[in-house]
A and B are shown apart, each in its own frame.
Chain A
């Protein structure tokens, strides 16, 4: 097992390196330079060149990349082009809200999707099943921004029950638990809708497969009650393939967070990404991308480890 984990980490190093190379060069393809936004539009070309030299932007792209990589190996993500604050600090301040949003969305999504999926599987072919499948299809297909704006319109603008955005009421003195929760509700609904929709379909089909296995018939032949058969014999087998779905969901969440955080002005990594793109803050962008790549890779590794724990048939060597 340890050997397997070490091997996986070793293999991932060139992959991560490749991701940074791609990111770096794609970012550079965008027209303009960070200096354009940094400077007065009327600054002299000479002054612009000096600023670019100070930022290291005058060097060939390869050299710039190697410089960045060299810094990274020393554990330094560089300074933001915009605020001149260390990138690590900029990201550090935003990572908490994003984790809160993603964590809450995952918990809500799974809390809904697993029981609903099981219900649909056990009632396969009935109206309950069709309703669930239809609802799940809606959840997957409705776009984040549309759902987000719709919810804001109904619950914030029309009904006035919930705030339109942000994490806390500005000027509200930090707010209590309810203030925090009320800000969390709408973005969590938006993010968890898509995940839950996807998840319900996986839970359902995985459960349908599990319930048709020979060992389920064996369990019924023992005289076990249907509930015991579902919980003890089918569910655990059905959840194993869902470990993979969880990791895919995580990548999807990161993407979804960008749009959702922007709509709800949620001060997380997603919003930071949009800000960094529009201000051509390449060093922050590189930092965020690296974190995202690490998160996806980490989730995949975690999934493989969880597999080995829940499925006795899997042994890594």
Chain B
């Protein structure tokens, strides 16, 4: 279980939070005409990288505020949390982060005990 640093309440247990999927996906303006493809991508398509990922969380059993974070999906480490109106951090700032716990391949997983 993770410790998540709510930007409003401070570090709390993961069980208080709910995940909200990819962050910084902009909802198209409903007043403008847009094509099926563009709208469909907004509704159905989300990134699912192994590694650094902008993600939304909500402090469901707490202040009920939504916020964003950068999470390494390979290690589950949450590197930074920030409020919705704050600028999104540059992923390059997190380059030094460990990619995979047991040196698994870039894609997929496996029990390969090799150097990380």
Same complex: no
Binding site for B on A (CB under 8 A): none
Chain B residues near A (Cβ < 8 Å): none
